[in-house]
Amino acid sequence: MKSMELVIEGECYISGRFERACVGIDGGRIVALARNLDGDRRIDFGSRKILPAAIDSHVHFREPGMTHKEDFGTGSLAALHGGVSCVFDMPNTAPPTTTVSALDDKARAAAARSLVDFGLFAAVRPGADIAALAGRAIGFKLYMAGTTGDLLVPSLASVQKELADVARSGKVLAVHAEDETIRRKEPAKGPADHLRNRPNECEASAIRKVARAAEGCRVHICHVSAKDSLPLVQGQPNLTSEVTPHHMLLDRDRPLGTFGKVNPPLRTKGDRQAMFLAFKQGQFDTMASDHAPHTVDEKKEDFDYAPSGMPGVETMFPLMLQHVRDKHLALATVVKALCERPGEIFGIKKGRIEVGYDADLVAVDFMAGRDIRADDMHSKCGWTAYEGMPAVFPRATVVRGELMMKDEEQAGESRGRDVVAKDR
């Protein structure tokens, strides 16, 4: 066999188990897997575990328009340190990603600054040119309740035509499922009040409504957070679901104040435990961070004025790897939800160590854990809701065959690629 550009060697996670193997890489893709391979260059990770890098299919990198919170440079640097090689950015930027020109502008900004690969969501709004957007977007986002940004649809009836167009496009319809007609807007002093304003039924009702209204669409329910929602997202044809680390690990009783204000809200301990168990049992298709950075100053506003959302792209995979290390979760469950299923659902060849897939890899040392500290994070926002929690940060992240992070330092300069319109 001809020598390949690069060979990466280590304990590789292939078809659900670890084996000592060489990953042969050409043009950023995995072209061979074997016990021994020759390459022009070689990286030997020794006894470290080599896993597929994660795909974070729900981030808010805030560019354009809110780059004091984050931009593609800082967001993607945080991603690299968290073992994420590809992110899908949400459309609630300023301007919002609702037109082809806004999508193209954002793609140019991302291509200039992002250190990881990316896909861009377009928003469903009355009058949106879905067919034109579909060629360039990783999927469509539908906001059923008010949250950061201005993309709430007036009603599902108002986007009936657009939803039919999404169905025709074959693209995923990612849904922020909270029912605006149930949401209360009473003054809130903390996460418990925020939860009262956005009760479990708010989520369950929205899931029921969108499942009916978006017939024919590949509906993906984002950030499922309430135990009442679990039966609604299981075993439904054309419906997949996402859970976040915060709804699985945090609840309204944590003393987080505004830093725990997020949509959907942190719920009760019972809901949190139900999310953890459902995740452990493989009931969610994907895990995504809903990385939604806001600055400390913004979060220091009074509860009612503070924006909703918390960062998470850097801590998601490390927190899950810690749970694997502690034997609370099976590695297979984590890899499936963070790597394999996002790749399958969104139709990109990432998330597996397999010939034909992008060479997006992380090297992990399960013995080298450390506590999460805001000071060590790379997001512009400068805080984390997971302060002091133990985590297993990857020792290296490889994006399409390029070593981009090593020993917790940025190692490469290459820019990420749009996974949809690669040559734009």
Binds 262, which of Zn ion, ligand NCD, none (CB < 5 to 8 A, cut-off by type)? ligand NCD
Nearest CB to ligand NCD, comparing residues 381 and 419: 381
- Please choose, out of 144-152, 200-208, 245-253, 326-334, the segment that lies near ligand NCD by the rule CB under 6 A: 144-152
Residue nearest to ligand NCD (CB): 309
Answer with the entry of Zn ion, ligand NCD, none that 263 interacts with (C-beta below 5 to 8 A by kind).
ligand NCD
User: Which residues within the stretch 283-302 sit at the binding site for Zn ion (CB under 5 A)?
Assistant: 290
For residues 8 and 87, which CB has a smaller minimum distance to Zn ion in the complex? 87
Tokens read off for 320:
């899950």
User: In this structure, what token pair is assigned to residue 1?
Assistant: 């066999």
Contact 212, 257 (CB under 8 A): no
Is 179 assigned a catalytic role? no
Q: Which one of residues 67, 148, 169, 384 is an interface residue with ligand NCD (CB under 6 A)?
A: 148
Catalytic residue (choose from 56, 290, 360, 418)? 290
Yes or no: say if 203 and 224 are a contact pair by the CB < 8 Å rule. yes
Asked if residue 191 has a cis previous peptide bond (ω within 30° of 0), the answer is: no
In terms of C-beta density within 10 A (0-12 exposed, 13-18 middle, 19 or more buried), how is residue 165 classed? buried
Nearer to ligand NCD, 176 or 336 (CB): 176
Strand partners, 143: 152, 176
For the window 297-316, what string marks contact with ligand NCD as x by the rule CB under 6 A?
A: ----------xxx-------
Instruction: Please state whether the peptide bond connecting residue 311 to the residue before it is cis, i.e. omega within 30 degrees of 0.
Output: no
In sequence order, the 6+-apart residues with CB closer than 8 A to the CB of 417 are 111, 117, 118, 400
**Residue matched to tokens 């984590």:** 334
Q: Decide if residue 260 touches ligand NCD (CB under 6 A).
A: no
Q: Which residue's CB is nearer to ligand NCD, number 167 or number 292?
A: 292
Q: Is 162 exposed, middle or buried (0-12, 13-18, 19+ CB in 10 A)?
A: buried
Give yes or no for residue 60 binding ligand NCD (CB under 6 A).
yes
Cis, peptide link before residue 95, omega less than 30° from 0: yes
- Report the site for ligand NCD in 73-112 (rule: CB under 6 A): 92
The site for ligand NCD, by CB under 6 A, has a size of: 13
Region of residue 155 (phi > 0: left; psi between -120 and 50: alpha; otherwise: beta): beta
In this complex, which beta carbon is closest to ligand NCD, that of residue 9 or of residue 203?
A: 203
In angstroms, give the least distance from the CB of 292 to Zn ion: 6
Q: How many residues bind Zn ion (CB under 5 A)?
A: 1
Q: Rounded to whole angstroms, how far apart are CA atoms 215 and 229? A: 19
Binding site for ligand NCD (CB under 6 A): 60, 92, 147-149, 176, 262-263, 290, 292, 307-309
Indicate which residues carry an active-site annotation.
290
